[in-house]
Amino acid sequence: MEKYDVLIIGAGVTGTAVARELSRYQLKIGVLEREEDVCCGTSKANSAIVHAGYDAEPGTLKAKMNVRGNQLIGELAQELDFPFRRNGSLVLCLDEKQYPALQKLYEKGIANGVKELRILSREEVLEMEPNVTDQVVAALYAPTGGIVCPFHMTIAFAENACENGVTFHFNTEVKTIFRKQVADAAESPEQTDIEKMYLPHDTGTWQLVTSSGIFEAKCIINAAGIYADYFHNMVSEKKIHITPRKGEYCLLDKTAGTHVDHTIFALPGKFGKGVLVTPTVHGNLLIGPTATDIENKEGINTTREGLDEVLTKSTASVKNIPTRQVITSFAGLRAHSDGDDFIIEEAVKDFIDCAGIESPGLSSAPAIGEMVAEILRKKYALQEKDNFISTRKGMKDFQKMTLEERNEQIRHNPAYGNIICRCEMVTEGEIMDAIHRPLGARSLDGIKRRTRAGMGRCQAGFCSPRTMEILARELQIPIEEITKSGRNSQIIKGTNKSSFVDTFKEENRI
């Protein structure tokens, strides 16, 4: 049994941000994640937007965390070396009758403490963004809005936390949470074997029964995304309910990446901020999402209806979107709580919820980490470390190097002279680095999130075999054990696996 002071359930952007902040203190911290890597849930499938903070209702945790997170993220991007750009955002008003709603949004932003907000005229908007719809009459401009890479941001938090002593347990699904049994508690004949070992809701430490064994901790942080209600309801009599809210997106090629420079929103509605059009920090164009409440917590399939809605509604805000340049589509699930606000509090003794973290959760993550760390600091009188490492160096990006820097890198490591992903110009050296870094990649998707190999126009059609070969070689495992994203996602499967592997190796010269 492994014992910790604090165990965090979930290695998404919230869980890793909390882990990074708590790693400042003299604590033994563990993170339990059911998937094979960080950033495998909501954190990997979202709009990649750092919201300014004008949309949330004043006085809510959403408002407070959003504005504070926005303030923190610029410095964090420099300290932890992940891509971030304050490109600003525009909320379009397409009808004079909508102007009061735009004014109300401005007033909410001012009440929330958003800086530099102003309402632009039609002429100012068109000068700033020539491709927005001709129907625009005004817009709310928020210069503090930004765009970020959610993969690199989450990985940066996790790597820095790991360097500061946090232990990550992947492929570890939490099944049950109990309080440790009091020594003199009487056993009942009706108790099951598990119940004889543990009594729920008792005094003492928490014990978590997982797919990888039993873990013990003084304190639990529940950062389980759309499953946060499942764990909360195990330990608390006051139940909560999380609804998975599906959002579908289309990603366009980099040839469309300059169609707009700012993030373009429609006026918000009942189900959120509507379909946006935005550049990404990597040079693509992203449109979406839809907002459909579903029951299936694994329902990340895209639909014809959803993608049609994205394509149709995006053209209401921005004209001439080159939709023929769509290279992929995807869907993500947002954790919508019935109370329509973040839940960040001690649910029961030594059990802290970070639940209902939907949009603007990505923007809020640094502030949520800060808030949870402060709760624990006061509760347990935590002492800071003398040797906390506040910075982290990201991966080398061969594509962004000068010619001299490339030549020097290749002299140092010839693998950087071997291009594996032609669409994104990712080298063998970068893939090797992604594998051998702290919490390194173990799957094709793990490589993709760290290096962008497979994220380009061909969507891994050409580079997957070579990436698999490098993974197998560097991890020293058979190539048939390489997965797309862990668990049951082997690329090479079936009864004739051995002959298929031989053919695969021969055709790809492995």
pLDDT one-digit tens code per residue, 93-118 = 999 999 999 999 999 999 999 999 99
- For the chain, give every domain's residue range: 2-42+151-241+340-380, 85-146+242-337, 398-507
For domain 2-42+151-241+340-380, give the CATH superfamily: FAD/NAD(P)-binding domain (3.50.50.60)
Pairing of strands 276-279, 326-337: unpaired
Tens-digit pLDDT profile for residues 255-269: 999 999 999 999 976
Tens-digit pLDDT profile for residues 8-29: 999 999 999 999 999 999 999 9
| Assigned architecture for domain 85-146+242-337 | 2-Layer Sandwich (3.30)
How far apart, in whole angstroms, are the C-alpha atoms of residue 50 and residue 361? 9
Q: Which residue has the tokens 């019935």?
A: 338
Position 197 scores a pLDDT of: 41
Q: Is 399 helix (H, G, I), strand (E, B) or coil?
A: helix
Q: Kindly tell me if the per-residue pLDDT of 187 is higher than 70.
A: no
Q: Kindly tell me if the per-residue pLDDT of 204 is higher than 90.
A: no
Q: Which residue has the tokens 């946006």?
A: 276
Q: What is the mean pLDDT of residues 228-245?
A: 98
Position 510 scores a pLDDT of: 54
263: its two tokens: 């993030």
How far apart, in whole angstroms, are the C-alpha atoms of residue 483 and residue 371? 37
Output the average pLDDT for the chain. 93
Position 186 scores a pLDDT of: 45
Tens-digit pLDDT profile for residues 469-503: 999 999 999 999 999 999 889 999 765 555 555 65
Pairing of strands 29-32, 138-142: unpaired
How far apart, in whole angstroms, are the C-alpha atoms of residue 374 and residue 164? 18
Q: Kindly tell me if the per-residue pLDDT of 507 is higher than 70.
A: no
Position 266 scores a pLDDT of: 93
Q: Is 51 a catalytic residue?
A: yes
Confidence class for position 181, pLDDT limits 50, 70, 90: low
How far apart, in whole angstroms, are the C-alpha atoms of residue 237 and residue 348? 9
Pairing of strands 198-199, 242-252: unpaired
Least Cα distance to 340 among 291, 306, 385 occurs for: 291
Q: Which residue has the tokens 């003199």?
A: 184
Report which DSSP code applies to 483. B
Confidence class for position 42, pLDDT limits 50, 70, 90: very high
Tens-digit pLDDT profile for residues 126-169: 999 999 999 999 999 999 999 999 999 999 999 999 999 999 99
Position 499 scores a pLDDT of: 54
Angle 463-467-472 from CA coordinates, rounded to 5°: 155
Q: Which residue has the tokens 């529940």?
A: 222
Cis ω before 58 (30° cut-off from 0): no
Q: What is the mean pLDDT of residues 365-377?
A: 98
- The set of long-range contacts for 377-380, using a CB threshold of 8 Å and a minimum separation of 24, is 377/25, 379/346, 380/218, 380/219
Phi, psi of 360 (to 5 degrees): -95, 60
Position 504 scores a pLDDT of: 56
Q: Kindly tell me if the per-residue pLDDT of 271 is higher than 60.
A: no
Contact (Cβ atoms closer than 8 angstroms) between residue 315 and residue 232: no
Which of 51, 152, 169, 336 does the annotation list as catalytic? 51
- Beta-strand ranges (E) seen in 398-464 are 419-421, 426-427
Share of the chain above pLDDT 70, in %: 91
Q: What is the mean pLDDT of residues 314-341?
A: 97
Tens-digit pLDDT profile for residues 283-320: 999 999 999 999 999 999 999 999 999 999 999 999 99
Q: Which residues contact 12 (CB under 8 A, 6 or more apart)?
A: 38, 39, 40, 41, 42, 43, 154, 223, 225
CB-CB neighbours of 505 under 10 Å: 13
Helices (H), 291-402: 304-317, 361-380
How far apart, in whole angstroms, are the C-alpha atoms of residue 398 and residue 429? 9
81-90, 154-163, 184-193, 354-363: lowest mean pLDDT where?
184-193
